[in-house]
Amino acid sequence: MPSALRKSPSSSRLPLRALACAALLLVAAGCSGLGKYTWVDEYQEKPPPPDASYRIAAGDLLNIRVWNQEALTTQARVRDDGRISLLFLDDVEAAGHSPAMLSQQISTRLKDYINHPVVTVALEQARPIKVTMVGEINNVGPLEIETGASLLQALAGAGGFTEYAHKDRVFVMRQEDGVPVRIRFRYEDLIRAEGKAPSFRLHPGDVVVVE
């Protein structure tokens, strides 16, 4: 009768199979908990619109040159009201115009004082852009960075990761035509200059999330 009490080989393996299935379910659940995202190497940034010339905004520093008129050649910071102050012209509306459009506007107004004025407007220094840093980062909140700054520069500017951060769960959230997009990064790719991660540039309004 002892043989009747012996377990068959197949029955002894059932608990192991059940444990393996449970483990797979837990892994799947953990992956689904990250939500919907696109890896940066697969992300296709929307091309700029046909008329994508730079538009001047408050905070920009402009270099304004009037040919053969050194007294009128100057640098001007665009004020919060979107205007700059120039000799003879007082306030000039600058925000919203491209540098070429502003050059034409100044030229037109200077004709009352100078014969055939030739004006050149160049962007000397762009205003900083604002992004928001949240999650396992040392300095959470709004962050001002230079136009064209990389994700690595933003992470450094926010003081780096906390000890609880998952460095393969760095996300950038942005709006594209009103649709939220979630882009995932690995920190190792950023510091090793691998793939598209190092060349990715932040946009105004982006939210950087470290899980």
What is the domain class of 128-210 according to CATH? alpha beta
Residue 149 has pLDDT above 50, yes or no: yes
Spacing of C-alpha 10 from chain mean position: 56
Residue-level pLDDT at 76? 93
What tens digit of pLDDT does each residue of 8-64 get? Answer: 444 444 454 444 444 444 444 444 467 899 999 999 987 766 666 889 999 999 999
Identical fold between 61-125 and 128-210 = no
At 200, the pLDDT band (50, 70, 90 cuts) reads very high
What tens digit of pLDDT does each residue of 119-141 get? Answer: 999 999 989 999 999 999 999 99
Q: What percent of the chain has pLDDT over 70?
A: 82
Residue-level pLDDT at 178? 86
Distance in angstroms (rounded) separating the CA atoms of residues 33 and 52: 38
Residue 4 has pLDDT above 90, yes or no: no
Residue range 72-86: mean pLDDT, rounded: 93
Residue range 143-162: mean pLDDT, rounded: 95
- Tokens (6 digits) for 165: 């951060």
Spacing of C-alpha 146 from chain mean position: 10
Residue-level pLDDT at 53? 80
Domain 61-125 falls in which CATH fold?
A: wza like fold (3.30.1950)
Residue-level pLDDT at 174? 96
What pTM was estimated for this model as a whole?
0.68
Residue-level pLDDT at 12? 43
Which is it for the CA torsion 195, 198, 199, 200, positive or negative? Answer: positive
Which of 202, 199, 197, 209 has its CA nearest to residue 41?
197
Residue-level pLDDT at 90? 83
Q: Write the CA distances from 140 to 132, 162, 210, integer angstroms.
A: 8, 11, 10
Which is it for the CA torsion 45, 180, 155, 145, positive or negative? Answer: positive
Distance in angstroms (rounded) separating the CA atoms of residues 172 and 202: 8
Distance in angstroms (rounded) separating the CA atoms of residues 126 and 145: 11
Residue-range domain boundaries for the chain: 61-125, 128-210
Fill in the DSSP letter of residue 167: T
Distance in angstroms (rounded) separating the CA atoms of residues 185 and 190: 8
What tens digit of pLDDT does each residue of 165-195 get? Answer: 999 999 999 998 889 999 999 999 999 999 9
Determine which of 44-48, 63-67, 88-92, 108-112 has the lowest per-residue pLDDT on average.
44-48
Residue-level pLDDT at 15? 52
Determine which of 8-12, 68-72, 104-108 has the lowest per-residue pLDDT on average.
8-12
